[in-house]
């Protein structure tokens, strides 16, 4: 008689360039789960700020610009769809101008509160397992997630991955500039007052610097299987 399994919530955190998005998508597809890219939500909020002509450092103006964000985000791990005010901005939110400002916007308490509330709603609304990835899923959004993982890798490895990713996507990419941006964002994200980047209590820390995607995926799949009672 097969062992009964149950739905689980998987929280995958870590800095940019650790393979979070790729692994979260692959894991969701493998276990038949919904997928939620929370980083894309903050990028969409940042794009809204920039398009509104607001200075990302102007807290009051950022809060006003993102208060009633018309945002839809897909849960299918095989696609990446982000709709902002009726427009598909899936590619636009990955541009360098958004990347340069997203830390400032996401550090604002009111912005985080609004998006965390939406993330929790999405995580609880489905009838299947869900994989969420970001920077504070295990620490803030879903501290009671059945599976919590913190991915890491050296800044140099992450910068090279981002350079390769941008080049493959046809975007201009300079390794030295990207490395400097990676280091700067790490500092901002780990030192901010609101939801600083860190491993959640009970999270499994995985260094992906020398590991291939498939190797990490197998480890994550094993963690999920154990949580499901398989």
**Residue numbering of the annotated binding site for ATP:** 14-22
**Distance from C-alpha of 216 to C-alpha of 78, rounded to nearest angstrom:** 19
Output the CA–CA distances (angstroms, integers) from residue 74 to 21, 38, 71, 200, in the order listed: 13, 11, 10, 26
Residue 118: alpha-carbon gap to chain centroid? 14
Phi, psi of 146 (to 5 degrees): -70, -30
Annotated binding site: 14-22
Helices first, then strands: H and E counts in the chain: 8, 8
Q: Which residue has the tokens 């985080």?
A: 112
Q: Token pair for residue 90?
A: 């899936």
């Amino acid at each position: 008689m097969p062992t009964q399994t149950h739905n689980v919530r998987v929280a995958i955190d870590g800095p940019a360039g650790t393979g979070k998005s790729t692994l979260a998508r692959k894991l969701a597809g493998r276990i038949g789960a919904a997928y939620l890219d929370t980083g894309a939500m903050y990028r969409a909020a940042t794009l809204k700020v920039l398009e509104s002509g607001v200075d990302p450092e102007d807290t009051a103006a950022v809060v006003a610009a993102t208060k009633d964000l018309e945002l839809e985000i897909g849960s299918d791990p095989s696609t990446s769809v982000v709709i902002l005010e009726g427009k598909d901005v899936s590619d636009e939110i990955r541009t360098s101008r958004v990347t340069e400002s997203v830390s400032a916007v996401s550090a604002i308490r009111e912005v985080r509160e609004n998006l965390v509330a939406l993330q929790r709603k999405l995580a609880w609304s489905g009838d299947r397992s869900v994989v969420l990835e970001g920077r504070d899923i295990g620490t803030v959004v879903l501290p009671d997630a059945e599976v919590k993982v913190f991915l890491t890798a050296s800044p140099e490895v992450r910068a090279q991955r981002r350079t390769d990713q941008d080049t493959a996507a046809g975007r201009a990419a300079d390794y030295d500039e990207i490395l400097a941006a990676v280091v700067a964002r790490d500092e901002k994200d780990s030192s901010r007052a609101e939801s600083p980047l860190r491993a959640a209590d009970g999270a499994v820390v995985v260094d992906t610097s020398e590991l291939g995607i498939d190797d990490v995926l197998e480890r994550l799949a094993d963690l999920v299987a154990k949580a499901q009672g398989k």
